[in-house]
Amino acid sequence: MTMLDDRTTAETTWPTAYPEGYAVVDVETTGLARDDRIISAAVYRLDAQGNVEDHWYTLVNPQRDPGPVWIHGLTSDMLQDAPLFKDIAEEFAGRLADRVLVAHNAMFDWQMIAREYARAAGTAPVRQRLCTIALSKELNLPLPNHKLESLAAHFGVVQQRAHHALDDARVLAEAFRPSLHAAARDGVRLPLLECRPLTEWSDSPVTPRIGRQASYGSGNSWRPSRKRPPCPHPNPGRFEDGKPLKQGMRIAFSGDTSVDRELLEDRAVEAGLHVATSVSRLTSLLVTNDPDSATSKTVKAKSFGTPVVDEAAFTHLLRDVAAADG
């Protein structure tokens, strides 16, 4: 049962510019960094109106420790006989082909999938993605936060096994359909983003094999430290509401993010933005999901009058970054 009624479907004039089909995807992983791996994947294929055509699920042997078992529930023993990603890559690709990839925090799911295909010397057949967080913002849904459970509750969708790829994909598919119909009814442009194949990733200096449980979340980080190259564009000044981001803008991040911070920073750098480690009078924009917190960055942003947006809004802005002057 969802908040979408039969009248909505009957009265909707379907926009011709909307995609012909969607692949609602969820992947569970060993962690959130570049060297982490997919351990399970699920795909719900939907038609142009968001109706379910079929679904698919698989475990994946990551050839390393499974990471936070207390979150996803997948142990080394459960994964040791699962297929490798290269063995399911063709089937997975068939599920994604000629469809828009839909996910909650779609940038994360896409980059994890793209890196797995790069490791397997292949490319995922995905050209566009749609983040349901960005869509909920476009629809102005009255959600308390950007969690999947909040989106599900809004549309009356019942979660059965949170952080299980198949159930998370089901929940998202059921919540996406009324969102899609609401967008079509109100003439909302879908927040589609280009999916660019990735060919660069980093493996851990020491890669624990599956069967050995590492101390995930301890003082040791899976992420190797690295220094970013300087931004090649001059700082054009502060971000202005209603206008696009511009290459060279100094972007700072504060607090927890639903997508791994490094992935957000990578996307910003790829778009030609300058990722700043602190807030100053030169900062163009602060990205935080908790603007009322008392972190040094949010305090400085308030004192300097620095514009502030949340993670979902920032991800939306990244789809259309203006070129630097000159």
Residues 272 and 187 both lie in one domain: no
Q: Which residue has the higher pLDDT, 5 or 79?
A: 79
Q: Which residue has the higher pLDDT, 51 or 312?
A: 51
| Mean pLDDT computed over 155-171 | 95
In a domain, 323, yes or no: no
Q: Quick check: 1 pLDDT over 60?
A: no
CA 80 to chain centre: 27
| Mean pLDDT computed over 187-203 | 76
Residues 33 and 147 both lie in one domain: yes
In a domain, 293, yes or no: yes
Per-residue pLDDT, 317: 84
Which CATH number belongs to the domain containing residue 131 in this structure?
A: 3.30.420.10
Residue 326 banded pLDDT, cuts 50, 70, 90:
low
27 neighbors 163 (Cβ within 8 angstroms): no
Domain end: 194, 210, 235, which one? 194
Per-residue pLDDT, 86: 96
In a domain, 213, yes or no: no
In terms of residues, how long is the chain?
326
pLDDT tens digit string along 265-298? 888 888 889 999 999 999 999 999 888 888 899 9
Residues 75 and 152 both lie in one domain: yes
In a domain, 230, yes or no: no
In a domain, 209, yes or no: no
Residues 168 and 258 both lie in one domain: no
Residues 27 and 175 both lie in one domain: yes
pLDDT tens digit string along 87-141? 999 999 999 999 999 999 888 899 899 999 999 989 999 999 999 998 998 999 9
Residues 168 and 270 both lie in one domain: no
Residue 260 banded pLDDT, cuts 50, 70, 90:
low
Residues 142 and 256 both lie in one domain: no
The residues facing 297 across adjacent strands are none
Of the candidate ranges 15-19, 56-60, 197-201, the one whose mean pLDDT is the lowest: 197-201
Per-residue pLDDT, 130: 95
Residues 113 and 259 both lie in one domain: no
Q: Quick check: 220 pLDDT over 80?
A: no
Q: Looking at the 3D structure of the chain, how many domains does it have? A: 2
In a domain, 14, yes or no: no
Q: What is the mean pLDDT of the chain?
A: 84
In a domain, 244, yes or no: no
In a domain, 35, yes or no: yes
Domain end: 194, 212, 228, which one? 194
Domain end: 177, 194, 211, which one? 194
Which CATH number belongs to the domain containing residue 299 in this structure?
A: 3.40.50.10190
Q: Quick check: 201 pLDDT over 60?
A: no
Residues 169 and 257 both lie in one domain: no
Of the candidate ranges 66-70, 215-219, 316-320, the one whose mean pLDDT is the lowest: 215-219
Of the candidate ranges 57-66, 274-283, 315-324, the one whose mean pLDDT is the lowest: 315-324
Range of the domain at 286: 250-318
Residues 69 and 178 both lie in one domain: yes
Residues 55 and 167 both lie in one domain: yes
Per-residue pLDDT, 269: 87
Percent of the chain whose predicted confidence (pLDDT) is above 90: 57
